[in-house]
Amino acid sequence: MAPFTFSQLTPTAFLERSARVFPDRTAVIDGERRFSYREFADRSHRLAGALAASGVFPGDRVAALCSNSSAMLELHNGVPWAGAVLVPLNVRLSAEELEHILRHCGARFLVADAQLVGTATEVASAVGIPLVVAGGDTDAYEQLLADARPLARPCEDERGLLALNYTSGTTGRPKGVMYHHRGAHLQSLAMAMHTGLGPSSRYLWTLPMFHCDGWCFPWAVSAAGATHVCLPRVDPSRIWHLLRTEGITHFSAAPTVLTMIANAPEAAAGPLDVRVHVQTGGAPPTPTLLARMSELNVEVTHLYGLTETYGPLAINQWHPEWGDLPAERQAELKARQGTGNVIADPLRVVTDDGADVPADGQTIGEIVARGNDVMRGYYLDDEATAAATLVGSADGAAWFRTGDLAVVHPDGYLEIRDRSKDIIISGGENISSVEVERALDAHPAVLESAVVGASHEKWGEIPVACVALRPGAEVDDAELAAFVRSRLAGFKVPKRFLYGELPKTSTGKVQKNLLRDRITG
């Protein structure tokens, strides 16, 4: 007797299901536009057909330069249904950075929002690929869907390439992180379960959909049959309006965004009528911020993850009995990164020789991970993939080295203590010090530079440049800032500049720890 067959796991199955189960339920709210699940699925199928008719073949890369819009949600389903690979682009990157990514991934097609048409036209022309613009006077994207026949190619290999998410360039040039269908499917279920999403939920898109495929929430929200409420950009006033008028129940945001929301004038109107569940990551939320959000009837859960782990790898899952502890102790517990999510393999914290650190809350090691929610590797970069791999001494398994240093508490929960790489996290975005240093060093007046992070109340961290000038050279802060801004995205531009000789070790390595002391001192 023939065995029963199984289906390949893919996150697009969630929209297919919700279109059957909740065909008339509102799936997407995008400004004045509202789409039911039946319409959402049909539009995504038509997008797949349009891409195929435009010459996109299975395995081709389709890039998206889009804000949080209905088009971006449709791309997360339509591109895989065309058999292609989605490449979400960070809308804050410069044209030069975007061009590099498009060339590296070999993109065959670009879809962009109308407000980004200038940059999109420039990079598409430079790379030589077709561009379709969503929105604006002509709205070529809508015409593309209207003329298309629906298509849904089945997933042939659940470990096949689903998406390429480029890092923010933590060691210079950004790396393409390879997501597979199985990982995104399971991560979506984990996000839906841990956040309590259901058919009556309304998810506000404050988190960029281009970032780790929106932590897989484009599929998680659809899996729950919930409503996507699009938000093109972070605007505290608009967020408060939607929180009070659209019955928002969930959103995800960096602590910097929560700070903006908590301090917005609209917050003075008092707490929300409906308890809102928020997921935050990138930096530990402060006890003051957590207390303020609680006053506003917002419950915050701390998550931890990387682009290489489909977003949140770990969750600080709250134990009900912790609610009876003193407020100070609760704040300490909430600041931790937590434990692996429901579909993750158990996380480890290891020493340099690969041994697990004791769960004493004191011994520091590097977080390593493996499992379904860990990337396939870096696209066309075997060297970087190998550098990020640790072969376990016990079972010979390969583990992903996160580069984050942490301790393990007696209850098994992790808490990050430092970073092994000089990454600056500003407003939830990763900034490579090496990349900014390269831009600075290209200025004719600069002899050498070092960039470090300095704590900042609003942004968490800001980049600070320590610059040694060439003999006799003169330059001011504004000129250097403009020079860097012409080469990199605005959020990577140093916010402060210090001048003088850089401290170094006997081997010539810049001592960034001394520079940090100089900044804080």
Q: What's 127-173 look like in SS3? A: HCCCEEEECCCCCHHHHHHHCCCCCCCCCCCCCCEEEEEECCCCCCC
Instruction: Name the DSSP class of 508.
Output: S
- Rounded to whole angstroms, the Cα distance separating 75 from 39 reads 14
With tokens 């989605």, the residue in question is 86
Instruction: Map residue 179 onto helix, strand or coil.
Output: strand
pLDDT of residue 421 exceeding 70: no
Lowest mean pLDDT among 107-111, 405-409, 427-431: 427-431
Of 18, 39, 13, 19, nearest to 142 by C-alpha is 39
Q: What whole-number distance in Å separates Cα of residue 249 and Cα of residue 51? A: 34
- What is the spatial distance between Cα 521 and Cα 515, in angstroms, rounded to a whole number? 10
Determine the average pLDDT of the residues in 387-414: 87
Q: What is the pLDDT of residues 8-63, one digit of tens each?
A: 999 999 999 999 999 999 999 999 999 999 999 999 999 999 999 999 999 999 99
- Average pLDDT, whole number, for the chain? 91
Residues 448-477 have pLDDT tens digits of 888 999 988 888 889 999 998 988 999 999
pLDDT for the residue numbered 429? 82
Domains of the chain: 13-186 (3.40.50.980), 343-419 (2.30.38.10), 423-520 (3.30.300.30)
Which pTM was predicted? 0.85
How does residue 375 score in pLDDT terms, banded at 50, 70 and 90?
Answer: very high
The better pLDDT of the pair 44, 173 is held by 44
207: confidence class by pLDDT, cuts 50, 70, 90: very high
pLDDT for residue 1: 61
pLDDT given for residue 393 in this prediction: 56
Average of pLDDT values for 475-502? 93
Kindly tell me the sign of the dihedral angle through the C-alpha atoms of 267, 270, 276, 280.
positive
Q: What is the pLDDT of residue 171?
A: 45
196 compared with 457, residue with greater pLDDT: 196
